[in-house]
Amino acid sequence: MAPSAVETPVSQAATGSILEKPWSRPAPTKEKLDWAPLTTIDLSRFDEPGGKQQLAKDLYDAVTRVGFWTVINSGIDDERVLRQFSIGNTFFKEPLEEKRRFPCNFAEGEYFGYRENSRWIGDTGVKDNIEMLNIPKAIPAYENVPKNRIIKQHYDEIASFHRELYDKVLRKLFVLIAIILELPENYLVDAHAYDRESDDHLRYMIYNVRTQDEWDRAQGYTKGGHTDFGSLTLLFSQHVAGLQIRTPEGEWKWVQPVEGGITCNAADTLTFLTKGFIKSTIHRVVTPPKDQINIPRLGLLYFSRPGAHTPMKTVPSPLLDRLGLLTDEDKDETREVPTGTEYVRARVKDVHHKTVLTKREGTSFDFKGLKVANYYD
């Protein structure tokens, strides 16, 4: 045996084998912000008699008009959530060459891997401050997607969290939305099945600290109003304010994190699948309040997408039919449509395969008739 292997304990820092000190949520802002009123969905009631039906009623306005809501009592232990934040935090402190080993392949619209904060914001001279690492579902199809060392070391925990999150939150939300649409309960669960291929990912994300001047220049160019690409987005609570939604009344309001809760929003593919009935809400992340501007804004999110087995055609919902939203074309079984994965990859490529992020005012993205605006004020 090589002596060095026995005599010199390999330093923990060199192997990255320990997590940075456990991450905890920073203190909430003391500023009085104009918070958006959001519906709360208490998932502990899901399995009670009549619970799903009641929750579906509670969710109706949120998914059809507001687009955002908060889930509480998901049953996921908050210690496990905080561990995921800690793993993400540790990853972002890794040397750049380690983080860069597996970049997102934007040329193909693939979003797994690392996105670096390297792109310019228009002509402002300021760069994007977001870094992220997107981790695919823990299923055999993605076994060979390469993993950074921190991810490898904690993979069992990450994989079980990934699946738990799907089972305890996403699956239930898809059931509730199916009930609203009067579809068989598992219709949307099947369209977003965990065990089938799709570009779903768990995301560690960080908004690195910027000076007020950098924020002003970047936000003066664009505040980045957007809709999300997939079906549902989950955002675990952290306390650095920044997220705003555009309300049905057209006002920008802040989203208040609920300690231990999950902010959820519906996104574009769910809007397509329901002919616009489910609302993909416009949102953005703006300069944090003064008492939080120096805190890195660490995020833990999950993005659910329809997969390669899901045709992007309107779901056969009796409710949509009664509302007159289903045309003969929608009912035509033989019509060729893109799959969820084809659509999502085309969209990721269009938005992200570039070195300068521009606002593209007044333009839209259209993939085989699936059309969304590129820019919102």
**Which residue, 128 or 228, is less far from ligand AKG as judged by CB?**
228
We find the least distance from the C-beta atom of residue 226 to Fe ion, in angstroms, to be: 6
66, 281 in Cβ contact below 8 A? yes
First to last CA, the chain: 64
**Which residue, 83 or 284, is less far from ligand AKG as judged by CB?**
284
We find the least distance from the C-beta atom of residue 282 to ligand AKG, in angstroms, to be: 10
Establish if 228 lies at the interface with ligand AKG (CB under 6 A).
Answer: yes
Q: Among residue numbers 23 through 42, which ones bind Fe ion (CB under 5 A)?
A: none
Using the rule CB under 6 A, give the single segment among 43-51, 235-243, 338-346, 349-357 that binds ligand AKG: 235-243
Using the rule CB under 5 A, give the single segment among 153-161, 222-230, 273-281, 304-312 that binds Fe ion: 222-230
Site string for ligand AKG, 117-136 (x = CB under 6 A): --------------------
254, 287 in Cβ contact below 8 A? no
Supply 234's token pair.
């989950």
**Which residue, 267 or 346, is less far from Fe ion as judged by CB?**
267
**Which residue, 56 or 255, is less far from ligand AKG as judged by CB?**
255
Residue 299 binding result from Fe ion, ligand AKG, none, given CB thresholds of 5 to 8 Å by partner type:
ligand AKG
Alpha carbon distances (Å) from 91 to 135, 148, 206, 351: 12, 8, 10, 25
**Which residue, 59 or 206, is less far from ligand AKG as judged by CB?**
206
The three-state DSSP-derived secondary structure of 129-197 is: CEEEEEECCCCHHHCCCCCCHHHHHCHHHHHHHHHHHHHHHHHHHHHHHHHHCCCCCCHHHHHCCCCCC
Residue 243 binding result from Fe ion, ligand AKG, none, given CB thresholds of 5 to 8 Å by partner type:
ligand AKG
Closest residue to ligand AKG using C-beta atoms: 243
Residue 285 binding result from Fe ion, ligand AKG, none, given CB thresholds of 5 to 8 Å by partner type:
ligand AKG
**Which residue, 175 or 235, is less far from ligand AKG as judged by CB?**
235
Q: Among residue numbers 238 through 267, which ones bind ligand AKG (CB under 6 A)?
A: 242-243
Which residues lie across from 71 on neighbouring strands?
41, 262
Q: DSSP secondary structure string, 41-71?
A: EEGGGTTSTTHHHHHHHHHHHIIIII-EEEE
Of positions 121, 177, 218, 235, contacts ligand AKG by CB under 6 A? 235
**Which residue, 86 or 314, is less far from ligand AKG as judged by CB?**
86
DSSP symbol at 106? G
Vertex 106: Cα angle to 246 and 149 (nearest 5)? 100
Rounded to whole angstroms, how far apart are CA atoms 255 and 282? 12
Alpha-carbon 101 to chain mean position: 23
We find the least distance from the C-beta atom of residue 279 to ligand AKG, in angstroms, to be: 15
**For Fe ion, how many residues bind (rule: CB under 5 A)?**
1
Using the rule CB under 5 A, give the single segment among 194-202, 226-234, 289-297, 321-329 that binds Fe ion: 226-234
Rounded to whole angstroms, how far apart are CA atoms 92 and 114? 10
Q: Among residue numbers 269 through 328, which ones bind ligand AKG (CB under 6 A)?
A: 283, 285, 299
Rounded to whole angstroms, how far apart are CA atoms 179 and 60? 10
We find the least distance from the C-beta atom of residue 224 to ligand AKG, in angstroms, to be: 8
**Which residue, 88 or 242, is less far from ligand AKG as judged by CB?**
242
Rg (Cα) of the chain, in Å, rounded?
21
Supply 105's token pair.
């392949």
3-state SS class at 300 = strand
3-state SS class at 225 = strand
Closest residue to Fe ion using C-beta atoms: 228
Q: Among residue numbers 227 through 256, which ones bind Fe ion (CB under 5 A)?
A: 228
**Which residue, 198 or 314, is less far from Fe ion as judged by CB?**
198
29, 287 in Cβ contact below 8 A? no
Binding site for Fe ion (CB under 5 A): 228
Binding site for ligand AKG (CB under 6 A): 228, 235, 242-243, 283, 285, 299
